[in-house]
Amino acid sequence: MPADALLEVRGVSCGYGETTIVRNAELTVGAGETLCLVGPNGHGKSTLLRAITGLLPLSAGEVRFGGERIDGRAAEQLTELGIVHIPQGDHLFPDLTVEENLLMGAFPKGAWKDRGTALDEVFARFPKLKDRRRQRARTLSGGERRMVAIGRGLMRQPRLLVIDEPSLGLAPVIVESVYEIIAGVAAQRTTSILLVEENFTHVEEVADRVSVLEMGRIVRTGLPAELADDAAVTQSYLGALPS
């Protein structure tokens, strides 16, 4: 566990109505660290992310950010603290242009004045988006839409970026470019990343540590190499690795 934890999730349980989905989850993300949470479909990965980013109330436990208790606060307040959640699926404004969609990421209090610099940085990271800045989001390819969704998250210059299944529905070659971008952000060590994927193979290269969530419980946390070496974990939760 990193000594300088930015995000601490302690004994968190949450769910919908009477149904508890996530039980007693424990995780930490250090300053500048990338933690990847993997696990099968429907086992509660997105639910846990929603609880962390203020979209879902906790039924037990606590969440701390920079040492401060943040559970119970509204999602907008957490955005102001520098926590940005890029949800599963792209959720763009289809009739707005690429640039207008990106600027939406700079709306929360405090970020608007720096929008010009933030936009330049996003365009430097995604040169293709610069070429398409005036194109409406609805006319973009799936890969381009995913890039806009990630770029919009980066516009806020987050302290913690929470990304839910960035590979979802994309062709392998596009997944590779998405992960190159994420690896670039991770390597700067100025933004901590909490990333969810179903599949271990995608996250192996960007993760400092990996947690496995199964049936609403975090069953294992370790270095990517430790998890890859554990054949039982690999086969049960992560899918077969290439030999």
In the complex, what is the shortest distance from the CB of residue 230 to ligand ATP, in angstroms, rounded to a whole number? 21
What DSSP string runs through the chain? Answer: --SSEEEEEEEEEEEETTEEEEEEEEEEEETT-EEEEE--TTSSHHHHHHHHTTSS--SEEEEEETTEE-TTS-HHHHHHHTEEEE-SS----TTSBHHHHHHHTT-STTSGGGHHHHHHHHHHH-HHHHHTTTSBGGGS-HHHHHHHHHHHHHTT--SEEEEE-TTTT--HHHHHHHHHHHHHHHHH-SSEEEEEES-HHHHTTT-SEEEEEETTEEEEEE-HHHHHH-HHHIIIII-PPP-
Query: Quick one: 168 or 241, whose CB is closer to ligand ATP?
Result: 168
Shortest Å distance, C-beta 88 to Mg ion? 5
Stretch 80-109 residues interacting with Mg ion (CB under 5 A): 88
Q: What does 44 interact with, of ligand ATP, Mg ion, none (CB < 5 to 8 A by kind)?
A: ligand ATP
Least distance from C-beta 123 to ligand ATP, angstroms? 30
Is 221 a residue that touches ligand ATP (CB under 6 A)?
no
Residue number, 129 or 195, with CB nearest to Mg ion: 195
User: Should residue 46 be labelled a site residue for Mg ion when binding is judged by CB under 5 A?
Assistant: yes
* 167 binds ligand ATP, rule: CB under 6 A: no
With CB under 5 to 8 Å by kind, the binding choice for 16 among Mg ion, ligand ATP, none is: ligand ATP
Residues in 177-206 at the binding interface with ligand ATP, rule: CB under 6 A: 198
Q: Which does 71 bind (CB under 5 to 8 A by kind): Mg ion, ligand ATP, none?
A: none
With respect to ligand ATP, which residue has the nearer C-beta, 21 or 203? Answer: 21
